[in-house]
């Protein structure tokens, strides 16, 4: 089975004013579709066909640029759409809240570190909140379409929250004001989904 572009669970304009509809539409139908199509091309006829994207990335040959870039792009964006939601997004609570407060002293401490990781990533990339077996969490960032599932990234664990800081994710609305986009992102986080991923990861 080839990978398919996942459908969004909300309309393109649902995250406004924080993320505009035109950016969402281009990001989903052009960028994410592009990664999906090129990933399928890259694995066609290889032993990677039929494997889950997680299995592909965990066991990735990092010299395989086509699978690294497009597999990362497919996985990262699939997570990104899920951890945002305009409705029924809940609030940080329970075991994840405890883990974040243990790691960062407070939610504000987490927000500052996550925002710094996203804001200081040179060029294109992502910032992540990752969960580890046993329940600990940490923040890191990766370049381009790399993510913490890949070997040797220096950024481990299971990503449960991620923000795309490629310019295509925000430039139409925010231009060069990446910090404003990062601040806006906190208004659309789907904490119910992040907590579900945390529980699954630990």
Alpha helix stretches (DSSP H) within the chain? 21-26, 33-43, 53-58, 65-82, 94-104, 107-120, 171-174, 178-185, 191-201
- The residue-averaged pLDDT of 89-117 equals 96
Task: Give the relative orientation of helices 191-201 and 94-104 as an angle to the nearest 10 degrees.
Answer: 80
pLDDT at 89: 84
Taking the C-alpha atoms of residue 66 and residue 42, their distance in angstroms, rounded to an integer, is 6
pLDDT digits (tens, 9 = 90+) for 149-166: 999 998 999 999 999 999
Whole-prediction pTM? 0.97
pLDDT value of position 126? 98
Percent of the chain exceeding pLDDT 70 equals 100
User: How confident is the model at residue 47, as a pLDDT?
Assistant: 96
Structure tokens at 2: 């080839």
The answer to whether the Cα torsion of 68, 73, 78, 84 is positive or negative is positive
Residues in the chain: 202
Q: What is the chain's mean pLDDT, rounded?
A: 97
**192 φ, ψ to 5°?**
-60, -40
What are the structural domains of the chain?
20-202 (3.55.40.20)
Check: CB of residue 43 under 8 Å from CB of residue 35.
Answer: no
Region 178-194 average pLDDT: 97
Q: What is the DSSP letter of 158?
A: E
- Residue 82 per-residue DSSP state: H
Q: Is 137 helix (H, G, I), strand (E, B) or coil?
A: strand
């Amino acid at each position: 089975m080839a990978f398919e572009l996942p459908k969004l669970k909300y309309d393109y304009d649902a995250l406004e004013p924080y993320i505009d509809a035109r950016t969402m539409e281009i990001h989903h139908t052009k960028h994410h579709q592009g990664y999906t199509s090129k990933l399928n091309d890259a694995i066609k006829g290889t032993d990677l066909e039929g494997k889950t994207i997680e299995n592909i990335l965990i066991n990735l040959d990092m010299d395989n640029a086509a699978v690294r870039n497009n597999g990362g792009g497919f996985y990262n964006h699939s997570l990104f759409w899920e951890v945002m939601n305009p409705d029924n997004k809940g609030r940080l609570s329970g075991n994840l809240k405890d883990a974040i407060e243990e790691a960062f002293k407070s939610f504000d401490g987490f927000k500052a570190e996550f925002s710094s990781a996203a804001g200081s990533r040179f060029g294109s990339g992502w910032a992540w909140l990752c969960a580890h077996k046993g329940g600990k969490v940490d923040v890191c960032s990766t370049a381009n379409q790399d993510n913490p599932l890949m070997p040797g990234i220096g950024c481990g664990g299971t990503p449960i929250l991620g923000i795309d800081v490629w310019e295509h994710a925000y430039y139409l609305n925010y231009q060069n004001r990446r910090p404003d986009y990062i601040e806006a992102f906190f208004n659309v986080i789907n904490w119910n989904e992040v907590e579900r991923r945390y529980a699954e990861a630990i």
